[in-house]
Structures are given as structure tokens and as C-alpha cells.
A and B are shown apart, each in its own frame.
Chain A
Amino acid sequence: MTRLRSEIDLDRRGFIKKVLSGAIGGSLLLVLPQGSALIAQQLAGVGDEKEPYLNGKKFAFVVDITNCIGCGTCCVADKNEYQVPDGHFRTWVERYLIDDQDNVYVDSPNGGLDGFLTGRDDIPNPLRDTFFVPKLCNMCEKSSCVQVCPVGATFRSPDGFVLIDEKRCVGCSYCVQACPYSVRFINPVKKTAEKCTWCYHRVRKGMQPACVDACPTQARIFGDLNDKQSEVYKLLHEPQVISVLKPDMGNEPSLHYLGLRREVT
């Protein structure tokens, strides 16, 4: 009888233990977030909140023209990320067709947002060279847009990103005219200037820009030039056909193009 009694007691203790641990485990499961967005640590050494700005980093963007297939995935991702109004583009893709007489044909139906679904049958001569050129903000070291802004709404942040202060912008469109690369537009809803920011908010969280994330052929490469392990450092320090757009404008862009032809403007 006593043996049985002690066994029951033991069982009761075990039972209570199990119930308790189950309750604790269950409540922990309720507290812990599930299905939360995984913010992938895609950029080395970025995203720790100790520093207010990305000090000691020099970001560069490389677009590999030889890899671009003109699918417009980057444009779709960009439109989704910023809910850009129809007819305006923070990034877009241009198709360049050069015939054997050196005539250059450029088109970008709907900014490449729907891809390029048809060929061009209005070109009489055989084509010599064909390629796609994705366009986005050049993040110039000496940006024209920053110089012309009369209210200090466009500026170069301490970490080298040219950004727009929506609260200060008066929508005078001086910057739209000043930009040699035509990346700026006036948002028809907010009536303020808008442009590609290289996804500053994502970079600060340690994520890649949305278009870099979305590109299926790795034609867009983003990284820190001060990090010698980064892909952009390797690309810009190797013998490559690499250039910037309109170098004679003296804007010193941080956006580099791999395989750039001289016809591209």
C-alpha cells in the first residue's frame, strides 16, 4: 500500500512538472513572434544600431550591362517598395539597339516595368550591338541637385547618400532640371521631388536595395568599397570595361556600369 502510495505521489509530481513546463512553453510560444519577417543580414557589418550613420563606409553601385536581360524585375520591385505613381520611375530600363551604320535606337516602353515584350521592326539595317541599360540615381559626389536646392531639402547625408527631405521640399523642380541623369521627378500626389535613394532605409537595416535583391541575373551589385571582401571592391579594382555615365559633367557618380558602351548617355 505504502509502495503504491509513493508511486502515486511520484506520478503526481511528474504530472505537475509536465503541466507546468507545458504551460510555460505554451505561453512562451504565444509571446515569441511567429512568421515574422526575416531581415536578412545581407550587407556585412551594417545594421547594428550603435552608430547613427553608416560611418567609415563608402557605398558603390555597379550595374553589369552584360548580365541584364531587361526583364524589368527591378522596376517591379522598386514600384512595390515605394508605391511609385504610374508614369513615374525611380529606376527604369532602356533598350539600346545599334545598327551597322552606327545609328542608335533607344526605347523604354513603360520604363521597362512590363518587360520588353516585342522586338523593333522599324530598323532597316542589321543590328551590330544590342543591350539593356538599367538607370537609377548616380549618387554623385558633387551632385548638381544638392547645389541648386534653394531650401536645403536635397542633401548629401553623412554616409554619402543623396536624399530628399519631403517636409522641406517646396516642389520648385530646380533639382529635376539640374540632374544630368534625369532621375528626379515631382511626385504628383505629394508635390515634392522624388528619386531613387539606393534604398537608404534598407541599407541602414543591413539589407540590400530592393532592386539588387530582386535581380535574377545579378546584374545589379551593391556594396561597400572600403570592405575589400565586397564584390564591388573586387569589380572596381580589377581590369574591367567599367565606366560612369557622362563623366565629363564632373559629377563624379558612385554608380558604375560594367560593359558600358560609349553610345550610352
Chain B
Amino acid sequence: MQPGFKSSPKAHIVRIVLTLVAVMIAGTFIRQAMLPDEFGKLGHYRPGAVEDEANRQARIMSSESCFECHPLIKKIHVDGVHKTVLCEVCHGAYADHVKDDVVFATMPVVRGQDIKPMCVKCHNKIIQAMPPESIKLVAFPEHLEEKKVRTHHICDQCHHVHAPLKWVHEAREMMGLPPERERS
């Protein structure tokens, strides 16, 4: 120890306390700087996040939006048994078709052999767990054999995809047969 320098016996405690206070003050300032504005106003989160989520653009619009420009399809679709099937499920999201009220891309239309899996998704008798009373279920190729058509026929050769019983009804009417029982 140097002569003339006399350390206080509590110097180490003072040093620790001063360091801790400095760390706490610095910590408070850093936390203030790092936290977003208004954090904790409503809870332990950023209130702006609610608005961020609410401002997300809806990409799926209702079928009504589609029918505005497609009145002929609407006429067929809403009269058929597929009236509860949303346009955008088969054709893709509205937002991929119209932007700022201007059509900028055409929507995919499923044609040919690709149609069958779309129909079979809902109407396949083989799928266990499907409540049989809710929709018409058919088995393949039994349904085609029963209707006396070739087994490679695609569904839309007999059924209009928007109104599956439209042509069936029309054909039966033409032949003077009673209408088939319809499911709603």
C-alpha cells in the first residue's frame, strides 16, 4: 500500500452498489429503446400487431363477387345442387384473378381427366367415414356400368360440373321420364 492513501473499509461495497445502479439505469434505457412504441398498453404485446393482422388482404371472396362478372355461370350454378360449392375452391383465389377491380390473370379451368379426382373427393363411396346420407355417393366403375356407359367416361360427359343434374333432368324430361329424386 502506498503511503498516505487510506482506503475506506466499505469501499468494495460502495463499488458494487454503484456498478449495479449503473447497470440498472443502462438496462432501463436499453429496454426503452428496444421495445416498440406503446408496448404493454393493452397487454404484454404490441397493440399495432392487432391492426397489422386486421389489415391483411382477404384473398378469398364470396361467390357473389365472381357472379358479378359471370352472370351466366351464376344462373346455372345457383340453381344446381352444387350451389353450396364456392367458385374459388376449384378455380383459385379471387386475388389471383382481379386486382384493384381489374382482371389481370385468367383462372384455371379443370378439364378432361383432371375433373374426375375433383368429383371423387366428395362423391366416392370407397372413402370410409363419409356420412352417406349427406351427399350422393357413387362407386367406380360400378356407377358407370349401372348407367350403361363406357368405364373410361369422365364425369362431365353426363354431369354439368356447376349443376350436376341439369342435363340429367333435361334428358329425362325429353324422354318423358319422371324426374330423379334430388338431394339438397
Point out residues on A near B: beta carbons under 8 Å: 33-40, 42, 52-53, 66-73, 76-77, 80-83, 95-97, 114-120, 127, 130-132, 152-158, 163-168, 197, 199-202, 204-205, 207, 210, 213-214, 216-218
Contacts and interface: CB of A to CB of B under 8 A. Distances in A.
Given A37-B61, A202-B58, 19 more contacts: A33-B101, A38-B61, A42-B62, A69-B130, A69-B134, A70-B130, A77-B86, A80-B60, A95-B129, A115-B122, A117-B117, A118-B126, A130-B128, A152-B39, A163-B50, A197-B53, A201-B56, A205-B58, A213-B60
A117 B120 contact: yes
B62 A70 contact: no
Nearest to A83: B59
Contact of B42 (A73, A158, A164): A158
A35 B60 contact: no
B46 A130 contact: no
A63 B59 CA distance: 23
- Chain B contact residues, majority secondary structure: loop
13 contacts: A36-B101, A37-B61, A37-B98, A83-B59, A115-B122, A117-B120, A165-B45, A167-B36, A197-B53, A210-B60, A213-B60, A214-B60, A216-B85
Contacts of B131: 66-69, 131
B121 A213 contact: no
B134 A207 contact: no
A77 B89 contact: yes
Contacts of B117: 114-115, 117
Interface residues on B, range: 35 or more
A95 B130 CA distance: 9
Q: Closest 4 A-B residue pairs measured CB to CB?
A: A115-B121, A165-B49, A155-B45, A130-B129
Interface in B43-101: 43-46, 49-62, 64-65, 68-69, 82, 84-86, 88-89, 92-94, 98, 101
B46 A167 contact: yes
Contacts of A117: 117, 120-121, 124, 127
A72 B94 CA distance: 19
A108 B145 CA distance: 31
Contacts of A205: 58
A86 to B, nearest CB: 16
- Chain A contact residues, majority secondary structure: loop
Nearest to A147: B44
Contacts of B101: 33-37
A160 B60 CA distance: 23
A154 B64 CA distance: 35
Contacts of A131: 129, 131
Nearest to B92: A80
Contacts of A214: 60, 86, 88-89
B24 interface: no
A249 to B, nearest CB: 22
A53 B36 CA distance: 21
Contact of A80 (B51, B54, B59): B59
Interface in B6-52: 36, 39-40, 42-46, 49-52
A204 B164 CA distance: 36
B86 A207 contact: no
A140 to B, nearest CB: 15
B127 A118 contact: yes
A234 B41 CA distance: 36
Contacts of A73: 85-86, 89
B135 interface: yes
B134 A53 contact: no
A153 B85 CA distance: 36
A40 B84 contact: no
Given A130-B129, A157-B50, A40 B89 contact: no
A70 B94 contact: no
A153 B46 CA distance: 8
A37 to B, nearest CB: 4
Contact of B49 (A120, A132, A168): A168
